[in-house]
Structure 1
Amino acid sequence: MKRVATVFAGALALVTANAAAQDSTAPTSAPTASATLPAPKTPPKLIIAIAVDQFSADLFAEYRSHFAGGFKRLLKGAVFPSGYQSHAATETCPGHATILTGVRAGRAGIIANNWVDLKTGRADKSVYCAEDESVPGSTSAAYTVSDKHLLVPTLGERMKAANPATRVVSVAGKDRAAVMMGGHQVDELWWWDGKKFASYANRPTPAVVQQTNDAINARIAEAQPPLDLSPFCETRNRAVGIGGGKSVGTGRFDRKAGDTRAFRASPESDEALFAMAAGLIRDMKLGGGAATDLIAIGASATDYVGHSYGTEGSEMCLQLTRLDETMGTFFAVLDSMAIDYEVVLTADHGGHDLPERNAENAVPGAARIDPALNPKAIGDAVAAKLKLTGQLLYGDPVGDVWIDPKLPKATFDAVQAEALKLYRAHPQVAAAFSRAEIITAAPATGPAETWSLVQRAKASFHPARSGDIVVALKPRITPIANPLGGYVATHGSLWDYDRRVPILFWRKGMTSFEQPLAVETVDIAPTLAATIGLKLGTPEVDGRCLDLDAGVGDSCR
């Protein structure tokens, strides 16, 4: 790679230099292989929870044999290649909400990234999952970040309740990722706001956050050359046309000076995030106290790359290669601090490639959504049929759809019945469920891949927030009608390519093993809780503890 002096390398140099000045006893190199291992059953001093946004189980399987850095280390721990974000709304906010709460998205109150509240007094009826819509003058696009919509505690909160000496930190490339993993009680919470790493109002900025922001600003101010392609990434270097004379698949992350948007959708944004996380661990001495500390890291660049370029081009190959290197460096820095840390890595959801490349690869059913499935268009058709006026339906083309609550009940019921009829008749729709059908559906049991479609929808459902209709598109139908308007690919379906994600646990000295059967991301919190002696099970959470002792013991006792 030509870019040697990256943001990450520069920030890590500052972190290491600052730490050495503050602590002359700090080790200057990673512990050797003969270093003392943690005593069996001894709680780790630091839990590191990493969520790689849009890192599907399919991508994990595709790249795992090529990983040589941080992922390779995690592959030497407990590997669960078939973890499930079991709900239907496979988006960033719901997915992150499951990881450290142990609770499925609907129960957590996080039904989607955005939902519609037609009864709110605000002119903007769309509500963002990580905002406080009661702030005067706010909109779902210009909002005040808040944790108010998360209805359940996170593992960090439970750890603090058990031992107030616990420190909890959450950092991410998106505000909703940081908030949903951090929860309501955090010592530090920082997210990339498009220009800098920011936090709640009136919180002092730690030195390492300011240093990271300064390094990023200097980097963005300079034009950047393209990254070199490895022989492996070269095999994915093929242009795919998306119309209008534009294509994706051959990008190498060169960018013009001042392009903050391109920085966000590049490997460097994750590099900066991990550098800042390493600095916060060092400066706060996380893992150095009497209590176990926790840091959540939401690495968002993979998602932005997937949306902007798809999952199978040179762009994703470069992104995952660099992320692997970045995490390898991050772990080496932690090793140099001699911290006993435990890592879990997973994803908030999966994703699938753009339909143009899927079609070239003869993937059955790959297509873009018919604009006629927009709720307003469906609502207009219903209005014409029932001889009504005004907008009847609200929402997005896939997922929750809301009906005007001011309608008389008989009219409301007629609108719902006609809308369901139209949705179900459309050739791109797999299923459409009414609110009543979801509420009365049997709760899901058994492995997540066996759940019915309505049970997957039920796992995302919250009675006070969810829609009156839930629409599921057929497999490989991308809910972006025009790829020239911004993103070319996405996620959000109830199919397994969006639901299935890897779950990897690692701690020095643990026995390496792989368990191929389905587990869920809600199993992560009770599993981590067990490693620190914190009892966490039903009815507090939906997940179960996973045995990390590979059959030689019971880590869940």
Structure 2
Amino acid sequence: MKRSLARLFTPALLAAAAPALAQPAAPPAPAQTPPKLIVVISVDQYSADLFAEYRTSYTGGLARLQQGVVFPKGYQSHAATETCPGHSTILTGNRPGHTGIIANEWIDQSVTREDKTVYCAEDPSVPGTTSSNYTVSNMRLKVPTLGTYMKNANPASRVISISGKDRAAVMMGGKAVDQIWWWAGRGFTSYKGTPLTPLVSQVNMAVDKMLDADRPAMDLPDFCKSVDRAVQVTPNLAVGNGRFARKGGDFKNFRASPEYDAAVLALGSKLVEEQKLGNGGATDLLILGLSANDYIGHTYGTRGAEMCIQQANLDQNLGQFFDMLDAAGIDYMVALTADHGGNDLPEREREQAITDAERSDPALAPRQANMMLQAKTSFKGDLILGGGPFGDFYLGKQLTPAQKATVLKEAVAYYRANRQVAAVFTKAELIAAPAPAGPPESWSLLTEAKASFDPERSGDFLVLLKPRVTPISDPDGGYVATHGSPWDYDRRVPILFWRKGMAHMEQPQGVETVDILPTIAAQIGLALPRTGIDGKCLDLDPGAASSCPAN
């Protein structure tokens, strides 16, 4: 393990990340004293199943976090289990129906450009942009984040958000950040017009130097040997026994490797030093979005050697990061969770006797459905618009009210008749549905869909697929597995809290990621609005006392 980790944190990256002066570790702080630094970590596509599978093998940072307060049954409780909606819940205390972030992309037929798809973290009003070539913006997020509440309460609080993905940095950072950085293909960048600081340029050069060199295959830990087996996905593609070997200059495969998270942690480490986070008069907030897990899950699946090596390195890299904070003498608290879970590729699942695992029917794609609807109704043009075989679908803006009613009826019948479809809900049904309430594990599909529903942005109808139907018809395109379903393998994520001196507790009941904001607020004595927040404070005290404020 240490040999593979050394390949990740090369001397250049270590030099970029190392504190200038190490200090003795901070003593345990009294319970009533707020921590000086809050570190919020999202591990993209880190399902509760993945946590459960590897938690006994962790020996580094993830082992440390298990000594704190563990909620193994956390929920991204909504149906739209994608990256942008999930990240929007973590530090807002609100579900996607209230954050406005209903998906990674949605259709907005009112935009003037030809491309009517809107990316969740873009400004579509910028001339010449599209949903794939966009200007990053936080304008789509409708609610405040923890950083905003902290800076409103005390402007001396510093808020820094860093991620491998722009949407993760934006949705967790919100609209009141001192610095925000994400990986942009060849280095970290920020909002348009924000110049690179000397520090970020230094880290970018260190990463670039690392990527210029060939990377040999990573070591396979002993506990990974049982999953080290090739699975033939298509005649041209096999996964399951990879080692992340990479030729110099290969930036694409860098994302789908443990190196990606190492770069984010290196920048985070250096910013802690430069900005003296945790050493001021107010509590600071450092947000880290670790995205490698997601790219690895999409590219190789969640059960092979690739994901196992990723888990080993994620654990060790986090351990090094926490060691750095300890050496700097910072009193810090960590909250770690995920934006969603993920399901393995159906080819491997079928080899393991999960016989109903399959890829989606191409007939579910909007193009195929449109052809049927055009033939059925004799109407012209795009009668429905959507981004794939499931999720939100929109009726064509050019249709008259009567035509829309006809197309909606036929489209709903078409999708409900497909054997892979679990449910179809119309906009009217979602508007009429009651607000989510009760334990998230008990919710119906309609309740989960309601949690993701925004009447301004959601579609005219919503399609949900049955369990273990992977909405990738052709894996030769690059991704073999994905997420986005309303099922527990996508909804359930771990939620972990740790602070030096915190009493250990494991609470197995269902809680939500929207509970993270009020829980952290209670830890730092931050008053939140009495209304407008979906989450509730989680009691981190295992005894009769409560760490949450009295109602």
TM-score normalised per structure 1? 0.96
Q: Counterpart of 1:272 in structure 2: which amino acid?
A: A
Residues 269 and 433 of structure 1: is their aligned pair in 2 closer, same or farther, counting only changes over 3 Å?
same
SS of corresponding position for 1:19: coil
CA distance in 2, matches of 1:206, 1:255: 29
2:522 is matched with: 530
* Structure 2: 5+ residue stretches without partners: none
Residues 19 and 552 from structure 1, CA distance in 2 versus in 1: closer, same or farther, beyond 3 angstroms?
A: farther
What does residue range 359-508 of structure 1 map to in structure 2 within 5 Å?
359-395=350-386, 396-508=388-500
What amino acid is the match of 2:77? S
Q: CA contact under 8 A between 1:537 and 1:543: conserved in structure 2?
A: no
Match of 1:55 among 35, 46, 58: 46
Spell out, residue by residue over 1:213-259, the C-alpha distance to the aligned partner (whole angstroms, 9 max, x if none). 11111111111110111111111110100112320001000011211
Q: Distance in 2 between matches of 1:477 and 1:401?
A: 19
Q: In the alignment, does 2:321 pair up with 1:349?
A: no
Partner residue of 1:249?
Answer: 240
Moved more, 53-62 or 214-223: 214-223
Separation of aligned partners in 2, 1:174 and 1:497: 22
Equivalent of 2:539 in 512, 532, 547: 547
Moved over 4 A (4+): 1-5, 15-18
Note the alpha carbon deviations across 1:257-304, whole angstroms, 9 max, x for none: 211011111001101111110110111001100100001100000000
Amino acid at match of 1:122: R
Tell me, in whole angstroms, the C-alpha distance in 2 between the residues paired with 1:543 and 1:83: 12
The total of aligned residue pairs comes to: 547
- The answer as to 2:192 corresponding to 1:191 is no
Structure 2 residue matching 1:289: 3-state secondary structure: coil
Contact 2:44–2:340, Cα closer than 8 Å, also in 1: yes
> 1:11-50 residue pairs with structure 2 within 5 A?
11=12, 13-15=14-16, 19-20=20-21, 26-27=22-23, 31=25, 36-50=27-41
Q: Kindly indicate whether the alpha-carbon contact (under 8 Å) linking 2:13 and 2:206 is maintained by their aligned counterparts in 1.
A: no
Superposed CA deviations along residues 454-480 of structure 1, whole A, max 9, x for unmatched, are 111111111111100100000000000
Query: Partner of 2:349 in structure 1?
Result: 358
What is the Cα deviation at residue 537 of structure 1? 5.6
Look up the equivalent residue of 2:247 and give its one-letter code. Answer: K
Within the alignment, does 1:273 sit opposite 2:274 as a pair?
no
Instruction: Please tell me whether the aligned partners of residues 91 and 514 of structure 2 are also in contact (alpha carbons under 8 angstroms).
Output: yes
**Pairwise CA distance, 1:391:** 1.5
Residue equivalent to 1:515: 507
Residue in 2 that maps onto 1:219: 210
Q: Give how far 1:16 is off.
A: 6.3
Whole-angstrom distance in 1 between the partners of 2:452 and 2:261: 29
Separation in structure 2 between the aligned mates of residue 268 and residue 208 of structure 1, nearest angstrom: 19
**Structure 1 residues 201 and 119 mapped into 2: Cα distance closer, same or farther (>3 Å)?**
closer
The answer to whether the 8 A contact 2:515-2:537 is kept is: yes
In 2, the alpha carbon distance for the partners of 1:185 and 1:6 equals 36
Tell me how far apart the structure 1 counterparts of residues 544 and 66 of structure 2 sit (CA, whole Å). Answer: 19
Q: 1:382, CA displacement in angstroms?
A: 1.6
Q: Residue 549 of structure 1: CA displacement?
A: 0.8
* CA displacement 1:93-148 (0-9 Å, x = unmatched): 00000000001011101000001111211111110000001000001111000000
2:49 partner SS: helix
Give me the whole-angstrom Cα distance separating, in 2, the residues matched to 1:281 and 1:465.
38
Residues 116 and 127 in structure 1, CA contact (< 8 A), matched pair in contact too:
yes
Hey, what does 1:148 align to over in structure 2?
139
Percent of aligned pairs with the same amino acid: 56
* 1:70 alignment counterpart: 61
Residue 314, structure 1, aligned to residue 305, structure 2: yes
How far is the alpha carbon of 1:6 from its aligned partner?
3.5
The verdict on how the C-alpha distance between 1:11 and 1:529 changes in structure 2, with shifts beyond 3 A counting, is farther
Structure 1 residue 99 corresponds to structure 2 residue 100: no
Give the Å deviation of 1:449: 1.2
TM-score by length of 2: 0.97
- Per-residue CA deviations over 1:58-91 (Å, capped at 9, x if unaligned) read 0000000000000000000000001100111100
1:167 and 2:158 matched: yes
Structure 1 residues without counterparts, runs of 5 or longer = 21-25
For residue 505 of structure 1, report the CA deviation from its aligned partner. Answer: 0.2
Change (3 A) 1:445 1:239: same
Confirm or deny: 8 A CA contact 2:19 2:328 kept in the other structure.
no
Q: CA deviation at 1:3?
A: 4.4
Conserved? CA contact 1:435–1:468, under 8 Å = yes
Query: Aligned partner of 1:205: which letter?
Result: L
- Asked if 1 retains the 8 angstrom alpha-carbon contact of 2:18 and 2:324, the reply is no
Q: 1:66 to 1:283 in 2, by over 3 A?
A: same
Moved more, 203-212 or 528-537: 203-212
Structural RMSD (CA) = 1.3
Deviations 1:430-474 (A, max 9, x none): 001100001101222111111111111111111111100100000
CA distance in 2, matches of 1:361, 1:508: 41
Structure 1's 482 and 167: CA in aligned 2 closer, same or farther, altered over 3 A? same
Q: Give the CA deviation at 1:536.
A: 2.5
